[in-house]
Amino acid sequence: MTTIKDIAAKTNLSISTVSIVLNNRASRIPKSTRDIVINAAKELNYRPNQLAVGLVTKRTKTLGLIVPDIRNNFFSSLAKGIEDEARNNGWTVLLCNSNDSHKRDLEYIKMLEGKGVDGILYSMSSDSNLKNFKEKYSLIKNFDIKFLMIDRYLDFPATFPKINVVSLDHFKGGYLAAKHLIDLGHKKIACVTGPQYLSESNDRLRGYKQALDDGSIEYDEELIVEGNYHIESGVSAVNKLIEKDFTAIFAFNDMMAYGVLKGLKTYNLSIPHDISVIGYDDIYLSEILEVPLTTIHQPIEVMGRGAAKHFINIIDSKEEFLDNLPLYSPELIVRKSTSKPNKRLLNKRTQVI
């Protein structure tokens, strides 16, 4: 490995001069010596040792990314966007899978601090609540590491310190989904929500309620089932709902919608003829399902890019917060899993079961 020292030796200049040139603080250095240094660096194939740089500058151009599970397409798309943008700016990303565990979040935060990351991008583990979130938060503040939450966060009380959050407009997403079903004529719309303390889930639910309200439909708590964003909870939601009176299901993510599809199948219900199903996320697989899933598309990768960009700006600016925090808009994608309600069949079903 060639070091700055080697260049100094080769060029008969001091390491200070070499360092200055290589970092472009070379205003006062004449072009002639500059060229000498640069050529020598090129010739010796010099690449700075980032450990050494980080040690003295306290900056590593490294981001820690904590997501619940990278196998989830949502997070892998997010990670892709983040990593792409980071790389374009010469930054690097450490991948962490929390497995939705608060305890592991904590471990990762400590580990990332040890590695000297400049910032942590955090997507909340689903067993987070306000209490244990405070624990993480104070740890991070303690470390003086910049912090940005992506999409999954809590409904923070008004007293809570300001936090950087880059997110999708889930209220709008929830509204769009419910509105679509209502426009088709549905009045009994079941929901499979996310974990109740996640703000995104609550936002979607608020959007759903707003749409009901706008359509003069009464909100029926009986039709709301809490899920956990995994496919199985879509299946079990169907089992819980099956005896209730409904013509459509709004699953708060596509994975659960797949589960709903699967569950409905076990009752010999066909989609959308018997039941309309709408998802949320627009995972790329949703398009190629048997019944292509109507869903809410989210510009996940774009958001990842935007979040990384914004975060890097924050870190570079040394501010705690920057204006223009991006908020990304979801979009309704109508495919084949939703249609007008079928009243007759609904009655038949409720009688039969």
As measured in angstroms, the least distance from the Cβ of 114 to DNA is 8
Sites of contact with DNA (CB under 7 A): 1, 3-5, 12-17, 19-20, 22-23, 25, 28-30, 33, 46, 48-49, 52-53, 55-57
Q: Label each residue of 120-163 as H, E or C.
A: EEECCCCCCCHHHHHHHHHHHHHHCCEEEEECCCECCCCCCCCC
CB of 105 to DNA, least distance (A): 23
**25/343 with CB nearer DNA:** 25
Provide the token pair at 302.
């774009």
Distances (CA, A) of 44 to 4, 10, 15, 50, 227: 10, 9, 15, 17, 58
Residues paired with 250 in a beta bridge: 191, 278
* Residue closer to DNA, measured from CB, 28 or 131: 28
CA distance 349 to 35: 81
Q: How far is the CB of 22 from DNA (least distance, A)?
A: 6
DSSP class of 247:
S
Could you tell me the smallest distance in angstroms from the CB atom of residue 285 to a second copy? Answer: 5
Contact of residue 312 among a second copy, DNA, none (CB under 5-8 Å per partner type): none
**Closer residue to DNA (CB): 2 or 210:** 2
CB-count burial class (<10 Å; 0-12, 13-18, 19+) for 237: buried
Element holding 64 (H helix, E strand): strand 62-67
Q: Which does 15 bind (CB under 5 to 8 A by kind): a second copy, DNA, none?
A: DNA
Q: Residues interacting with a second copy, by CB under 8 A? A: 1, 47-52, 54-55, 60, 62, 65, 69-71, 73, 76-77, 79-80, 83-84, 87, 92-97, 110-111, 113-116, 143, 231, 258, 261-262, 284-285, 288-291, 301
Q: In terms of CB distance, is 152 or 172 closer to a second copy?
A: 152
Q: Residue 9: name its binding partner from DNA, a second copy, none (Cβ under 5 to 8 Å by kind).
A: none
Q: Which two tokens stand for residue 330?
A: 């979801």
Nearer CB in complex with a second copy: 30/114: 114
Directed axis angle between helix 15-22 and helix 31-43, to 10°? 90
